[in-house]
A = this chain, B = another copy of it.
Amino acid sequence: MKNLLNEFEDYLLNNLPSLKTFHPFFEDALGDMLKAGGKRFRPMLLLSVIKSNKSLLIKNSMPVALGLEMLHTYSLIHDDLPSMDNADLRRGFETLHKKYDEVTAILVGDALNTEAFNQISNASLSNDVKIELIKCLSSNGGINGMIIGQAIDCYFENQKLELSQLEYLHIHKTAKLIAASLKMGAIISEYDLETQEKLFNFGIDLGLLFQIQDDIIDETQSEEEAGKTTQNDEAKNSFVNLLGLNGAIKAADELSLKCEETLNTLDKKLKLSLEELLLKYINRHK
């Protein structure tokens, strides 16, 4: 799995967006947040599925993995903008609007959003496969996916949500892109529609589990332990505030069990490949 991550990092570094232009820093700004790393979780989900039965297609799928990372990265850049989270740091580096200016942060985000589709459309895969990938990414990363989740997160920042609304928020803001990453791997690997759907639903569970775990970690760990800013804010729409700490832990336990059970229903190679990537996450709240 380490090798797959290294392979992706190499591909990314050798395929950063390039420009012939007299703008003094826009090309650097385009690459900054892509290079800054993170877990590369969405590309790894995609590639882990492909590795399980079509490992010869991994190389040809790298532009798709990069496209996923670009779409995710653009969403982080825009989420950090002054009118949204107004964050100074991201992935340990200055956010783009702090390092350069707000115009640059908006335009780099816009560029990476569009470029995700350019990367996929130019991959050495069949046009039939690429169109399915683009449908999947543009629906789950778009209006009825990530975007409405973020819009709700911002709008209801100071208003209490019900449990079903909080789930809707995180399913859309985070889980759908995770689910799409798995499904896109299944599309490239030519798994049947049933497996595609099963992996998508598994991704929704996984994304929701991660959010509940984050809320638990925010409540129980110091910033040092968690390795990031933790917010034990009682006004925040969190699963801990809605369910209580024990209720949130119980919900996470149930979802992690469900995720493990789903993994057990997958064909053996797919199960092993995904377990190698995911087992360390599935029980991290324990």
Contact = CB atoms under 8 A, between A and B. Distances in A.
Interface stretch (A45-53, A117-125, A212-220, A253-261): A117-125
A111 B143 contact: yes
B106 A106 contact: yes
B142 A114 contact: yes
Interface residues of A, number: 53
A242 interface: no
A23 to B, nearest CB: 5
A171 to B, nearest CB: 12
Contact of A21 (B21, B115, B152): B152
Interface in A28-43: 30
A110 interface: yes
15 contacts: A19-B143, A21-B148, A83-B102, A103-B151, A107-B154, A111-B143, A113-B113, A115-B143, A117-B138, A118-B138, A121-B131, A121-B134, A121-B135, A127-B127, A130-B131
Interface of A: 17, 19-24, 26, 30, 71, 74-75, 78, 81, 83-84, 101-104, 106-107, 109-111, 113-115, 117-118, 121-122, 127-128, 130-131, 134-135, 138-139, 141-144, 147-148, 150-152, 154-155, 165, 168
